[in-house]
A and B are shown apart, each in its own frame.
Chain A
Amino acid sequence: MEPLVPGQVRVDRLRRRMIIVQILGAGVIVALAMAPYVFEPAVTSQWIKLFYLITLATAWNLLAGFAGMVSVGQQAYIGLGAYGVFVFNDLGLDPYSSALVASVAIGVIAFALSFVAFRLRGGYFAIGTWVIAEAVRQIVIRFDSLGAGRGRGISDYTADPVLRNLFTYWLALGILTATLIGALFLLRSRMGVALQSIRDNEVAARALGVDVSRAKRIVFVLAAVMAALAGSVICLQQIGVQSPSQMFSVSFSAFMIFMVLIGGIGTLEGPILGAVIYYVMDLYFSQMGLWYLVVLGVLAIAVTLFLPQGIWGALRARFDITLFPVGHRVVAVPGPRSSSPAGARPSQPAPRTDPQTDTTAASARTEG
């Protein structure tokens, strides 16, 4: 590796990798969007679940993995997303528009709730979000129009089940796409470094000028909107809500934590991998009943003990791979206006006699 010499470095954001990711990503999304023309509705309706699981895992990872806010109350927004579909559907909107409008309204609610939640820190924050979720559930079931404690169905919905499935599939895919693109660009922006600095040391972040409350609030609201959209997809797929305790269940949080930890917290790829693993296990082993949960638990314990960075974290450390580049790498550039033509391989050796190189190398030795 070329030594880093003052004046002969630049910052690499892996732009070429980003372009490849965008092209490949666009290809995958188009292919997934066409899938309903190839596969049976029974197959694609299964994929809807995978899409909202990845959305939920990504949202929780933004909160906990990047901003350091470990929440066990995201079910508040999942539930509100589901119930929001009823509210706006009853006002005359079609169910799909209802889902989108509801998510905006829930973003506003999350903004207000953040002022309560942010009064707490660490473990107290986690429990506080759970309490808020429970309170939200208690309020929602006061409304008879929302089915009170019993759950209800969507009243105004397309009759054709094939079309219904098709639209829900596309909505879920669209939400997943928006979530991943949003997370990728958020983390590549200045906000990405700010959020991770807060996660690693809030006092130091503040002393460097990071507006901690503002950054946290933005992520809190974004994660709530993502959870709300996932909740509305669940509602649309089931054509309603079976019971409020299902939609506001804390087990949503347990599964989100499972997916993120298994896959790799603090990476964008990890939660996707974790969601796929959870989805496959759920698909094939959930009929095992109690033993299925035991296996999930053992897997979670094994991964946290032996692969503390998660499966993706271990893969990345082993093979140095990145699908979604969010980091910065300082790389050496050939000397300015050098004899070698632009674009040629940087073949000329670094000026090893340069006194700067010597001092940096010397200090590296004393440090090591």
Chain B
Amino acid sequence: MSRTAGAGEALLEVDSVAKSYGALDVLTAVHLSVPAGQALGIVGPNGAGKSTLLSVINGTERASAGTVRFAGRDVTAVGADARARAGMGRTFQIPRPFTHLTVFENALAGATAGAGLHGRAADDRALEALVLADMLDVANTPAGELPLLGRKRLELARALATDPQLLLLDEIAGGLTEAECDSLIATIRELHAQGITIIWIEHVVRALLAVVERLVCLASGVIVADGEPDAVMRSDEVQAVYLGGGL
């Protein structure tokens, strides 16, 4: 279901990326290289620039400096729509449903525009995404009538419908019950097993550690720790970020 990138080569290459809004520097010189097939988690306190980093990767925001390379191509100047068609799927932390369309039609937008499918193939792709996100039973519900959790799951369904090579998840586990969280973990593991590269921002560390094989900690717009998840969680940098300095 996913397109394969060149073996051994990094699928995503973020090089010296900075992003500022006026005098406010949100990201300063972020370097990140993600090999194809990796599941990468990002943690960090509120305001660390995590969502902004995802936005710069998928093109919702343009980088102020630095380059973003995807599948061997420099996409820094490429719009979010073209990056989505090239294989980047993204969910938003605050859901952005197409409120007047049904849940199925929301997914269909991803299948037609993002995956470039037509007719039956697009329908099937959208249905498959709804099954993966466990939303088939509400397929005909207008997205505007979904409760918050449904809207979060819709974000995932839509992104999956685009048939992504790289999936960018922005806090999709927040607010879920234990059982729902477990089912979400199972779903994301399944996607990872299918070979989809995943970058997942999450405050629910338990969910993150159940899936990712690499963890990055972002604080004040810079990467302060990067490596094996348990080691990163135990590192002095992460302890300092979460529990305050001087520990």
Asked if B118 lies at the interface with its beta carbon under 8 angstroms from chain A, I say yes
Contacts of A338 in B (CB 8 A): none
Contact of B109 among A3, A6, A10, A210 (CB under 8 A): A210
Which chain B residue has the least Cβ–Cβ distance from A362?
B179
A 236-250 binary contact with B (CB < 8 Å = 1; else 0):
000000000000000
Which chain B residue has the least Cβ–Cβ distance from A199?
B100
Whether B60 pairs with A193 at a CB distance below 8 angstroms is no
Cα distance, A364 to B81, chains bound together (Å): 32
Whether B137 pairs with A360 at a CB distance below 8 angstroms is yes
The number of A-B residue pairs with CB atoms under 8 Å apart is: 135
Whether A194 pairs with B109 at a CB distance below 8 angstroms is yes
Contacts of A366 in B (CB 8 A): 177, 179-180
Cα distance, A10 to B118, chains bound together (Å): 15
Whether A330 pairs with B97 at a CB distance below 8 angstroms is no
Cα distance, A49 to B108, chains bound together (Å): 39
Q: How many residues of B contact A (CB 8 A)?
A: 52
Contacts of B131 in A (CB 8 A): 6
Asked if B35 lies at the interface with its beta carbon under 8 angstroms from chain A, I say no
Cα distance, A248 to B163, chains bound together (Å): 48
Which chain B residue has the least Cβ–Cβ distance from A211?
B81
Contact of A201 among B85, B97, B113, B180 (CB under 8 A): B97
A 1-15 binary contact with B (CB < 8 Å = 1; else 0):
001111001110000
Contacts of A197 in B (CB 8 A): 98, 101, 106, 109, 113
Contacts of A210 in B (CB 8 A): 81, 109, 113
Contacts of B115 in A (CB 8 A): 209
Minimum C-beta distance from A170 to chain B (A): 36
B 74-114 binary contact with A (CB < 8 Å = 1; else 0):
00000111101100001010001111111011101110111
Interface of B is mostly: helix
Asked if B138 lies at the interface with its beta carbon under 8 angstroms from chain A, I say yes
Whether A3 pairs with B137 at a CB distance below 8 angstroms is yes
Minimum C-beta distance from A367 to chain B (A): 5
Q: A200-B100, A327-B105, A330-B104 are in contact. Are A193 and B112 (CB under 8 A)?
A: yes
Minimum C-beta distance from B181 to chain A (A): 12
A 156-194 binary contact with B (CB < 8 Å = 1; else 0):
000000000000000000000000000000000010011
Contact of B147 among A3, A205, A367 (CB under 8 A): A367
Asked if B149 lies at the interface with its beta carbon under 8 angstroms from chain A, I say yes
A 44-83 binary contact with B (CB < 8 Å = 1; else 0):
0000000000000000000000000000000000000000
Contacts of B140 in A (CB 8 A): 329-330
A residues 256-281 in Cβ contact with B at 8 Å: 266
* Known interface pairs A199-B100, A330-B139; 13 further A-B residue pairs with C-beta atoms within 8 A, sorted by A's residue number: A6-B127, A190-B122, A193-B108, A197-B101, A205-B109, A207-B58, A207-B90, A211-B81, A212-B81, A328-B102, A329-B140, A359-B134, A366-B180
Residues of chain B whose beta carbon lies under 8 Å from any beta carbon of chain A: 58-60, 79-82, 84-85, 90, 92, 96-102, 104-106, 108-110, 112-116, 118, 122-123, 127, 131, 134, 136-140, 146-147, 149-150, 158-159, 161-162, 177, 179-180, 183
